[in-house]
Amino acid sequence: MSPTRIYAIVLRSFYLTRDNPTRFIQIFLWPFLDILLWGFLSRYLSEISSPGLIPILLGGIVLWDFLSRVMTGITMTFFEDVWSRNFLNIFASPLSIGEYVAGMVVSTVWTSAIGFLGMLIAAGLLFGFFITAYGLLALPFLLILFLAGIALGIFGVALVLRYGPSAEWFIWPLPAVAAPFVGVFYPIETLPHWMQLIGKILPPTYVFEGVRAIVAGKTFPSSQLFLGTALGLLTIALSYAFFVSTYKRAVRTGLIARYSAETVA
């Protein structure tokens, strides 16, 4: 695996974002709108019920949006190649599958970090919410969500690679599909049993269970953090294996030609 070729993918992503104001603005726009909507709702609910709702509701949306930003950063790197009809050209070069995926992952680090920082500033200035409310546990929380976002992004890219460019709509609902199972705003014990079983194998579940435990003044066992991290790494490995398998199948069957300059429909 060549660091130079990985750097080339990252540098290209940087230039595409830097030179296009609309792409740069969207890093901040949607997270900021989420902060406004959920921030005012959290403030209202905290006034009529419990003041602990702000770190639960607003904190939940900040953390979940971070995962979504990570996933979007990976998928947008892939879609830049699809939309510009450059995907086949990429793999006509010496670039390997592993290097391409690594480039997507590194590219999303800076875009998701910038967007997350903007969300934290908005939440702090407008609603007095600071990530430090979670103490040092904020770091493993972010790590688990970062791993989960990577896995979700790679999985989404593999779906589009499998079903063709017109299937890009598969990707955007993925966070919304996963959210009910991981208990972003409520304990998973409130879910039906079969949904709880699914939730327990999803890494973000352990982040939001930890958030609620901290706000309630309870201890959160470190074993749950290790489990969430291990599940995050496992889901990345499974998503990567799915992506590689899908790519090889597309090459073997000729379906990769759907990404040629002739058609991306």
Q: With respect to residue 264, please indicate whether it lies within any of the assigned structural domains.
A: no
Query: Is residue 265 one of the residues assigned to a domain?
Result: no
Instruction: For 135-176, write each residue's pLDDT tens digit.
Output: 888 899 999 999 999 999 999 999 888 887 777 777 888 888
Q: Domain for residue 72, yes or no? A: yes
With tokens 């639960």, the residue in question is 56
172 in a structural domain: yes
- Percentage, residues of the chain above pLDDT 90: 23
Q: Is residue 193 part of a domain?
A: yes
Residue 257 has pLDDT above 90, yes or no: no
Select from 153, 160, 155 the least CA-distant residue to 255: 160
* Domains in the chain, number: 1
In a domain, 159, yes or no: yes
Q: Predicted confidence band at 44 (pLDDT cuts at 50, 70, 90)?
A: low
Beta-carbon contacts of residue 25 (< 8 Å; ≥ 6 apart): none
Q: What are the tens digits of pLDDT across the range 173-212?
A: 888 889 889 988 888 888 899 999 999 999 999 999 988 8
Structure confidence at residue 52 (pLDDT): 64
Find the DSSP H helices in 84-217.
87-92, 97-127, 138-163, 174-182, 193-199, 204-215
Residue 176 covered by a domain: yes
Alpha-carbon separation of residue 21 from 81, 176, 226, 229 (angstroms): 19, 27, 40, 35
- Answer whether residue 264 shows pLDDT above 50: no
- Kindly report the average pLDDT of the chain as a whole number: 82
Closest-CA residue to 208 (of 51, 77, 58): 58
pLDDT in tens, 114-137: 888 888 888 888 878 788 878 888
Residue range 76-80: mean pLDDT, rounded? 83
Global pTM reads: 0.85
Does the residue 223 lie in any domain? yes
What does each C-alpha distance from 257 to 56, 216, 262 come to in angstroms?
Answer: 47, 54, 9
> Among 22-36, 88-102, 232-246, which is the least confidently predicted range?
22-36
The pLDDT-based confidence of 263 (bands split at 50, 70, 90) is very low
| Cα–Cα dist 236/64, whole Å | 18
Q: Which residue has the tokens 């991306």?
A: 264
In which domain, by residue range, is 114 found?
A: 3-259
Three-state SS for 8-21 is HHHHHHHHHHHCCH
pLDDT confidence of 48, banded at 50, 70, 90? low
Asked if residue 261 has pLDDT above 60, the reply is no
pLDDT at 72 over 80: yes
